[in-house]
Amino acid sequence: MNWPRPYHPPTNLYNSQQRQKIMGVFNMFRRSERRGTDPGSSFGMSEAGAKEDTAPFTQMPDEGFTEFGPSQFGDSLASPLSAHGSDDAAVERSGQQEQRARRRVNARPGTRVLIIDESAAVVSGLRRMMRQNQLDPIEALGGQRGLELAFSARPELIFLAVAMPGMSGFNVLRSLRRDERTRDVPVIMMSGNAQATEADYVRRMGADDFMTKPFSRADVFLRIERLLDPDLMPRRPTEPAPLS
C-alpha cells in the first residue's frame, strides 16, 4: 500500500517551532492510519489531549490567508472585501476631478463685505477668507454696530448672524430693508439652527441666502457666487437662491 509522503509545510510560512508542530501532528495521523488505531491513543494521549495538541494546526489557515493574500487563494476571497472600497475610491476621485475642473467664480477684487456676528471667531474666520480672495472685509461684533457700519461704510455684501444679544439679526435685517441706503444690498444670513423653517423665515423677511454654522470655505464662496452679476458684483437676485 502506498502511504503519503511526509508533509513538509512551506518554509516561508511558519517559524521552525510551528513547522515541527505541524509535521508532528501529520506524522501522528500517518502512523495511526498504518496501525488502524486512534491518533491520540498511539501516543498515550486522551481525546482531549489530542485536540489540545492539534489546536495550533487548526488555527493555521487563518494565518495562511493573511500571509498568502488573494493571489494564492483566488480572487473570490478578496473581491467581496475590496470591491466596495474600490468603487468608493473611484467615486471620490471622480468627484475631486469634477470639482477641480469647475472653476470657482469670485467677486471682483476690492468688493466691500460687511460681517456682522457676536462671535469673534466667526468674524475672524470670514475676514481671513475675504482677504485671501482679495475682498475688503468690514467687521462688526453685534447687531447695533453692524447696522451703523452698514449705513456708513456702504458695503456691497453683508454676512449677518441670526442669533445675537441685544439687537438680533432679524431686527438688523428688518432695518436694512427699510432704509433706502441698504435696501438693495444682498444679505446672507448665518445660523447654527439647521431647521428649514428658520431659513424660510429670513427669506421672507428679505434675506437673499442662508448658511448654516459651522460652514466651510466652499459654503461661503458658493453663496457669494450665486449673487454675482455679469460684472462679478453682488446683486440681489430676482428669485431667492434654492435652500441648501
Q: What is the pTM of this model?
A: 0.58
pLDDT in tens, 105-162: 999 999 999 999 999 999 999 999 999 999 999 999 999 999 999 999 999 999 999 9
Asked if pLDDT for residue 58 goes beyond 60, the answer is no
pLDDT in tens, 196-230: 678 888 889 999 999 999 999 999 999 999 999 99
The stretch 74-87 carries a mean pLDDT of 38
- Give the pLDDT score at 197: 77
Least confident of 23-37, 65-79, 181-195: 65-79
pLDDT in tens, 159-206: 999 999 999 999 999 999 999 999 999 999 999 987 767 888 888 999
User: Three-class SS string for the chain?
Assistant: CCCCCCCCCCCCCCCHHHHHHHHHHHHHHHHHHHHCCCHHHHCCCCHHHHHHHHHHHHHHHHHHHHHHCHHHHCCCCCHHHHHHHHHHHHHHHHHHHHHHHCCCCCCCCCCEEEEECCCHHHHHHHHHHHHHCCCEEEEECCHHHHHHHHHHCCCCEEEEECCCCCCCHHHHHHHHHHCCCCCCCCEEEEECCCCHHHHHHHHHHCCCEEEECCCCHHHHHHHHHHCECCCCCECCCCCCCCCC
